């Protein structure tokens, strides 16, 4: 009797444990008999299907299925019982369920068989995968959208492995290179670059893989028939969830932009050259006078030598002194011509590291001709130990000379003793500045907005291109040219250029 009680207690404990397990499981657990009727329906199943257990127990399990599947379900059970050939027993699969509301939803179903001496039952474990399906659907949509974006992007896009071997390409890149996708995929990115860019691209890729932030890589690529194109490639390292990595490349064809920039540069240089010629033309009278002075002195000394020789009283020391004076004056004239030739010679723009004080000195040698004729005093206040600037020296000379000549013209109405132009240099927050202060009347407030526009002038003569050209030259060097009034009531022009880091 005691043994029977003990066995019964164990069975009750086991049943309680089994019942607790069914209630605690979030998955739906449904037990049916061979007739298809529901015998057990746990709380997880209630939450999934919306039925209470009392509503379904004793009813055929096909009430939880769509109509088309429900009509075949009993046949599946009968077939299995006859043949013992499982089609779904022990196999998890995705099927469609039906809730109490009639709503159909996706679910995972795993079916197991319980064999006892008395009977056979089947247990089904159900998991609602509606949210998973929704996430998958959204992921597919995002993937399709991304694919559409990539396929319709106006820039070239490719993926590659970590050594640059191309895996996928978009239509824009195919069109850019002018070769079929099959001839691009599997090849290395460097196969399309000109030889001199191979090493630079490889180094950029290696730095990216090491985790460095890399700049946009500007390269020359060859497309179909060897056509050269200038491209900018932005590389991004992407890490997959499982840990592997790949590279995405965004490629922009800059050929037209580069050609346009080159054309703009050439036009700017041509305009600057025309500006220098125009300036020289405006200075022609003063330059002629400057050259005429040494030529007159040469002529005077030469005539004196001739008279001495003709008189028969010439002595070597006197002649030597005269010839020395002739040589000095010839050198003086030659220096004037050399400065003019250097200033107006048409050449390719060439930038170098220079001291702005040296530029000012060279410009004052040229400007002194105009200043002397206009009776303008030139003063300088040049700071020592200035950082250098990286510029085209001749173009910076052109800017300075234009500003000096404008200042001279502005002071012509003044009395001679008031005509003073100060040129100074200084360092200001990582930049080097040249300041030109005159004592003219300045620029009227209402026209200052137009000061640097082409063809604007306050003079009675002139084309109005000097300040416009100067402004564009300074801007092309990464600098600024600005105007303000000074404390003498005149004009102040400031040329500000980036200093070369020490």
Q: Which of 69, 104, 131 finishes a domain? A: 131
Domain identity same for 225 and 298: no
Q: Which of 230, 253, 276 finishes a domain? A: 253
Per the domain annotation, does 165 fall within a domain? yes
- CATH code of the domain containing 197: 3.30.450.20
Per the domain annotation, does 6 fall within a domain? no
Per the domain annotation, does 2 fall within a domain? no
Closest by CA position to 186, among listed 158, 157, 216: 158
Asked whether the beta carbons of 415 and 403 are under 8 A apart, the reply is no
Domain identity same for 149 and 103: no
Each residue's pLDDT, cut to its tens digit, for the chain (502 residues) gives: 555 566 566 656 655 565 656 666 778 999 999 888 999 999 999 999 999 999 999 999 999 999 888 877 777 777 777 776 666 666 778 899 999 999 999 999 988 888 877 788 899 899 999 998 898 888 888 888 888 888 888 888 999 999 999 999 999 999 888 889 999 999 999 889 899 999 988 898 999 888 888 888 888 888 777 788 888 888 888 888 888 899 988 888 887 676 666 665 655 555 555 555 555 555 555 555 455 566 666 666 566 666 667 776 666 676 666 667 667 666 665 665 665 565 555 556 678 899 999 989 888 887 887 788 889 999 999 998 899 999 888 888 888 888 888 888 888 888 988 999 999 999 988 899 999 999 988 888 877 777 776 555 655 555 456 777 788 888 888 899 998 888 888 889 999 999 988 7
- Residue 406's Cβ-side half-sphere holds a number of Cα atoms within 13 Å equal to 28
Domain identity same for 221 and 361: no
Q: State the pLDDT at residue 171.
A: 92
Per the domain annotation, does 1 fall within a domain? no
- CATH code of the domain containing 299: 1.10.287.130
Give CA 498 to chain center in angstroms: 21
Domain identity same for 397 and 490: yes
Per the domain annotation, does 380 fall within a domain? yes
Per the domain annotation, does 464 fall within a domain? yes
Per the domain annotation, does 402 fall within a domain? yes
- Give the tens place of pLDDT for each residue, 26-36: 789 999 998 88
Sequence-separated (6 or more) residues with CB below 8 Å from residue 148: none
Q: Which of 347, 378, 399 finishes a domain? A: 347
Domain identity same for 498 and 362: yes
Closest by CA position to 332, among listed 357, 304, 369, 307: 369
Per the domain annotation, does 71 fall within a domain? yes
Query: 89: which DSSP letter?
Result: B
Domain identity same for 216 and 234: yes
- CATH code of the domain containing 384: 3.30.565.10
Domain identity same for 367 and 239: no
Domain identity same for 147 and 160: yes
Domain identity same for 145 and 187: yes
Domain of 355 in residue numbering reads as 349-502
- Give the tens place of pLDDT for each residue, 55-94: 999 999 999 999 888 877 777 777 777 776 666 666 778 8
Q: What is the number of domains present in the chain?
A: 4
Domain identity same for 290 and 412: no
Cα 396 to Cα 157, 273, 299, 430, 454, distances in angstroms: 43, 12, 36, 19, 19
Domain identity same for 65 and 48: yes
Domain identity same for 240 and 105: no
Q: State the pLDDT at residue 263.
A: 62
* DSSP states along 412-451: TTS-GGG-EEEEEEEEETTEEEEEEE--S----GGGGGGT
Token output for 141? 């949509």
């Amino acid at each position: 009797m005691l043994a029977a009680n003990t066995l019964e207690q164990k069975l009750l404990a086991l049943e309680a444990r089994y019942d607790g397990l069914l209630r605690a499981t979030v998955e739906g657990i449904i037990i049916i008999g061979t007739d298809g009727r529901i015998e057990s329906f746990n709380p997880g199943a209630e939450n999934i299907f919306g039925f209470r257990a009392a509503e379904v127990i004793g009813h055929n399990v096909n009430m939880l299925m769509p109509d088309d599947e429900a009509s075949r379900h009993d046949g599946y059970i009968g077939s299995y019982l006859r043949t013992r050939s499982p089609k779904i027993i022990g196999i998890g699969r995705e099927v469609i369920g039906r809730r109490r509301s009639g709503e159909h939803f996706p679910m995972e179903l795993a079916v197991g068989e319980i064999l006892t001496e008395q009977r056979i039952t089947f247990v089904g474990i159900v998991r609602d995968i509606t949210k998973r399906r929704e996430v998958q659907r959204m992921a597919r949509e995002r993937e399709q959208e991304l694919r559409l974006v990539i396929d319709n992007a106006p820039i070239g896009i490719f993926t590659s492995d970590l050594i640059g071997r191309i895996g996928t390409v978009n239509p824009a890149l195919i069109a850019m290179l002018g070769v079929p996708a099959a001839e691009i995929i599997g090849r290395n990115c460097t196969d399309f670059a000109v030889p001199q860019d191979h090493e630079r691209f490889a180094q950029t890729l290696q730095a990216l893989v090491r985790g460095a932030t890399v700049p946009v890589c500007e390269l020359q690529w060859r497309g179909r028939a060897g056509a050269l194109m200038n491209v900018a490639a932005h590389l991004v390292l992407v890490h997959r969830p499982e840990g592997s990595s790949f590279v995405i490349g965004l490629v922009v064809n800059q050929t037209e932009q580069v050609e346009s920039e080159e054309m703009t540069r050439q036009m700017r240089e041509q305009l600057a050259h025309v500006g220098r010629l125009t300036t020289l033309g405006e200075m022609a009278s003063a330059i002629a006078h400057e050259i005429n002075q040494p030529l007159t002195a040469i002529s005077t000394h030469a005539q004196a030598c001739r008279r001495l020789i003709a008189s028969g009283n010439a002595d070597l020391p006197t002649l030597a002194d005269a010839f020395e004076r002739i040589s000095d004056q010839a050198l003086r004239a030659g220096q004037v011509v050399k400065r003019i030739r250097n200033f107006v010679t048409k050449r390719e723009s060439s930038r170098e590291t220079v001291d702005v004080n040296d530029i000012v000195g060279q410009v004052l040698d040229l400007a002194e001709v105009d200043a002397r004729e206009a009776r303008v005093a030139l003063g300088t206040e040049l700071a020592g130990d200035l950082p250098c600037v990286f510029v085209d020296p001749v173009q910076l000379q052109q800017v300075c000379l234009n500003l000096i000549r404008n200042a001279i013209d502005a002071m012509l109405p003044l009395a001679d003793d008031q005509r003073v132009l100060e040129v100074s240099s200084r360092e200001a927050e990582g930049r080097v500045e040249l300041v030109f202060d005159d004592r003219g009347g300045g620029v009227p407030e209402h026209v200052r907005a137009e000061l640097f526009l082409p063809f604007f002038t306050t003079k009675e003569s002139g084309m109005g291109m000097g300040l416009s050209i100067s402004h564009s030259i300074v801007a092309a060097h990464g600098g600024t040219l600005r105007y303000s009034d000074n404390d003498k009531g005149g004009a102040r022009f400031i040329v500000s250029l980036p200093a070369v880091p020490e």
